[in-house]
Chain A
Amino acid sequence: MSALSRLGRRPSVRPAQIVSAVGLETAVGVTAVVLFALVALAAPLLAPYDPHAFSGKPLERPSPAHPLGTNDAGQDILSELIYGTRISLAVGLGAALGTVALGLLVGAIAGYAGGPLDALLMRLVDVMLTLPRLPLLILLAAFLGSGLAQTMAIISLLFWPVTARVIRAQVQSQRQRGYVKMARNFGAGPAYVLRRHILPAIAPLIAFGLVTAAGRAVAMEAGLAFLGLGDPTAKSWGLMMRFALNLPGLLLTDRWLWWLLPPGLLITLLVLALTYLGMGLEERLQPSLRRR
């Protein structure tokens, strides 16, 4: 439908046209993710204070000086929120890259090699997929210690099998195609075939994998920080919620309104933006998913 409607239009690009071409979900998702990224990049310009600085009295109510008040240590909540964007996006991006890199490696090897190596790797994937992820995540975080790098590594280590399975299926089907067989008969090595023929075919899957992995990672990082398993020095949204909820009687005053709600809302918005982006990509990958 989008291709047809594009044909009859003038060449100038209007927002509505972009939306109809890529789908509403993708458009909303991309816009929101770009906005979050801009906030993260411009954090020093946007934030009124250094989030670690004790810029006010503890537990101040919102005022012109502190639009969202201060936390129990006297730090500006708005600045914490703005800088928190950096942590969520960095962990999301890092963990997504790690997850997809591992999944791509295992999936491509299994799908390309076939035979016993494939069977072995896929059995490993099966076992990994059956393991309960969050308890394992907690176990790893408890023993590995908490830092942003550890959080990214743990999330990547636990979520790669999902990507590996999808990539393997696609690599396997590509390998059977005539042109790939031909290239191999002409003496092309695995590295050449993978890069030249198979990578372009799995590129959309990689994009989809990255977006979904990023969404999961953002939610997981916030969740770990919320549980007290994140980096205690990184002012992430999850940690903000944890500190807010640790204040006795928080819910008995209206303090939750500017301390607890905003970080929760931002995590949810970022996760949902990535979800919508993933749904849009998925629809493009599998046209059969289009709304009937």
Chain B
Amino acid sequence: MKARIVAYLLTLWVILTLNFLLPRLLPGDPLSALLDPESSDYVFEAEVRASLETYYGLDRPLVAQYGAYLKGAVTGDLGRSIRLNQPVGELIVAHLPWTLLLTGTALTLASLLGLLGGSQAAWRRGSAVDRLVTAASVVAGNAPVYFVGMMLLILFGAELGWLPLAGGRTPFAQYNSPQAAIADIGTHLIMPALTLTLSLLGIQFLLVRNNMVGILGEDFMLVARAKGLRQARLKWNHALRNALLPFVAHLAAHAALAITGAVFVETLFQYPGMGRLIFEAVGARDYPVIQGVFLVVAIVVLTANLLADCLNARLDPRLAEEVGQ
């Protein structure tokens, strides 16, 4: 575990440094352009310009800039948004919960359905239902997530009119009770979460199914069957337990996929999360926001990786270094 944590710290440092160096080393000098009256990207508000100058400190030596940047990153000072003239940290705090709600819902649903459906399909491999669901999963897992979302948007949003077309909640809504708030946020969540769930489910279903097919052919399954164990016990205790290992091992990669998908889904549904924030920032060349979102998302993904590693070590004693733990 120690080696893994060192690897994560190294990755974190690479992310922090990349985030610092990229805008400074790339051609075109995008940051200086913000302060250059000749440039088309020039920031006109003096107050915003002053905050940019102090945050980036482009006139100081690179090492001093790096030190100030690292200090800011640790204390949560990520600069000020050019477009909204608001601290980037505050913007992220306002947007992150929406993304966590969306990706968390989708990842949970897709994992549960993927595990149940994948093992069920493997159990009945070759049947018409298995072949149909497997083919559908290849499509759902590989089709671009924004296309899946567009189809749902057209069907449930525009044609049937069952669900709201955009947003995370009704604009300017005043909620009289917590139930009303949950209902409103819930209805707005259905389509984006469903889109992301379908996309993740395709991938997770195939992973579980293919692993399960392998496990069902193993010797220990034959022995368990020969002992006369009941179907349910065979399926859930013997087979699924082993299929769980590769599933958990891939969970971090799926969390990263969920975040990638969320950027598209949030853009499509105008959902007020981090994806939407970075999308709008890109349009306005709002570099502090782009960098801040990148940093926070990278740390979220990294944490997910670490958690999945710990979970995996716990589930699979062979992976844990300490014997008996």
Contact = CB atoms under 8 A, between A and B. Distances in A.
Whether chains A and B associate is yes
A131 B22 CA distance: 15
Interface in A248-292: 251-252, 256, 260-261, 264-265, 267-268, 271-272, 275-276, 279, 289, 291-292
A74 interface: no
A41 interface: no
Nearest to A222: B144
B137 to A, nearest CB: 12
Contact of A260 (B150, B279, B287): B150
A264 B152 CA distance: 13
Contacts of A264: 144, 146-147, 150
Nearest to A219: B144
Contact of B279 (A126, A133, A228): A228
Contacts of A130: 8, 11, 301-302, 305
A138 B278 contact: yes
A143 B26 CA distance: 7
Interface stretch (B88-96, B108-116, B222-230, B255-263): B255-263
Nearest to A144: B26
Contacts, number: 123
Contacts of A265: 147
Interface in B257-285: 259-260, 263-264, 267-268, 278-279, 282-283, 285
B28 interface: yes
Interface in A77-129: 123, 126-127
Nearest to B147: A264
A131 B259 contact: no
B146 A241 contact: yes
Contacts of B256: 132-133
A154 to B, nearest CB: 11
Interface in B274-314: 278-279, 282-283, 285, 287, 290-291, 293-294, 297-298, 301-302, 305
Interface stretch (B51-59, B153-161, B167-175, B182-190): B153-161
A268 B143 CA distance: 5
Given A127-B11, A228-B282, A251-B153, A136 B294 contact: yes
B142 interface: yes
Given A134-B259, A227-B263, A241-B146, A143 B30 contact: yes
B144 A139 contact: no
Given A228-B283, A251-B165, A135 B278 contact: yes
B279 to A, nearest CB: 6
A138 B263 contact: yes
B22 to A, nearest CB: 6
A227 B267 contact: yes
B142 A272 contact: yes
B27 to A, nearest CB: 8
Interface in B67-81: none
A51 to B, nearest CB: 21
Contact of A223 (B8, B142, B264): B264
A265 B283 CA distance: 26
A140 interface: yes
Given A256-B158, A271-B142, A227 B268 contact: no
B183 to A, nearest CB: 23
A271 B210 CA distance: 22
B19 interface: yes
B143 A139 contact: no
A268 to B, nearest CB: 5
Nearest to B279: A227
Contacts of A272: 138-139, 142-143
A144 B158 CA distance: 37
A245 interface: yes
B7 interface: yes
B83 interface: no
B297 A132 contact: yes
Contacts of B153: 251
Given A219-B144, A228-B283, A272-B142, A134 B22 contact: no
5 contacts: A127-B7, A131-B11, A145-B28, A268-B144, A268-B147
Interface of A: 123, 126-127, 130-136, 138-145, 215, 219, 222-223, 226-229, 241, 245, 251-252, 256, 260-261, 264-265, 267-268, 271-272, 275-276, 279, 289, 291-292
Given A135-B259, A136-B18, 16 more contacts: A127-B7, A131-B14, A133-B256, A135-B297, A136-B298, A138-B290, A138-B294, A139-B294, A140-B22, A143-B287, A229-B282, A251-B153, A260-B154, A271-B143, A289-B210, A292-B125
Interface of B: 7-8, 10-11, 14-15, 18-19, 22-23, 26, 28, 30, 125-126, 138-139, 142-144, 146-147, 150, 153-154, 157-158, 165, 210, 213, 217, 256, 259-260, 263-264, 267-268, 278-279, 282-283, 285, 287, 290-291, 293-294, 297-298, 301-302, 305
